[in-house]
Structure 1
């Protein structure tokens, strides 16, 4: 099981751009099946799955100890991985109740999705050509800290910001979960009937973050941390401009379908 992949990238600086490359962590959907029932799809690095199976069963309260996990078999398919877990007989009554009552939390994979086939949700249309300039990205990155009051107080939350074409931060939402912060922002934009030239998030760029940006119809997604392989693949497949590792002095352009930074 491969845990990383090297991808071409372009290093964006205030003065120009140079070619480069970046090692990215592999992100893959892993469908967890417990005693034949689809339980969850976790977006994760598909390595050490035997250890994950035991830990996940323990933290989900489906097993009381490692001996309760009788078997854990991973299989790779076209859409991702399937991890088939068999529990001890005495634990098997728990799974049906947990499938009915399981709630989402900040560490879940794709909440409410139990099988790989449900990942193939359509994305209508393709993002427009980004209107933001190179200078706008750096301006927004510098300004964002001043729009994070909860993080300034606690140092423990993520933010998602809607930015104008000139880099002004239009609105920002914070949450302990990076997905939740982005959902709040997308919802607020929809309720206000507004759009953003680009969205800036204070987190890594995973498949789910890219997918949410595509659904929102944003032209460009920028993150202050690195992307995953599946995030880059998803952005490329649907024409989303993706910029990662946003810092005051440099950023990494992972996907630039319109050539706006060339």
Structure 2
């Protein structure tokens, strides 16, 4: 198993694959980001709660989870390979001095983490094509750099050009009594690199989920959201296949 990713459960042909780019806050011992270690527990380093939700989902029949193995501050898998934020030099007002890399350093991060992650994800999708990909993320209730911004959504659904699954998922989530964002708090037309590459480009059905982090802050809420998302993902997959 690569240090760049972790697989939970067994992918099945026609099953559901949960993909979570930002599930880990791990920083390898030979990398010094030059930041206060406390920042690794914050949203700039990890999508808080998603690893717990994904782990519960992967315990269910027909669902597997593919998780990023390092912090998004080490390498952000959900960015274009040569984009400026794949190894961010700042995040939500915090400088990341250890990411002031020269070309060789940048290339080393890509070769060590980014390319193995995406190569493995492509291989999983080719070898066991799922009926649906669920791209699982979480978002902070409040940005330090924009504290006045209101984020009332408990969950958001993201997509780019292919909205087949999203159009089904949004009303199903709303029926749970949730405040659901359609392309909120971010737009999938802007932040969708992993799904653009592995889903949109291959016409694989998917939808992106952003759960507000206070909704998945403890083991009980992880289990609750895992049940909810597994049930809704299965409903979406069945509707797409009918």
When normalised by structure 1's length, the TM-score is: 0.28
By relative contact order (CA 8 Å, sep 6+), the higher-ranking structure is 2
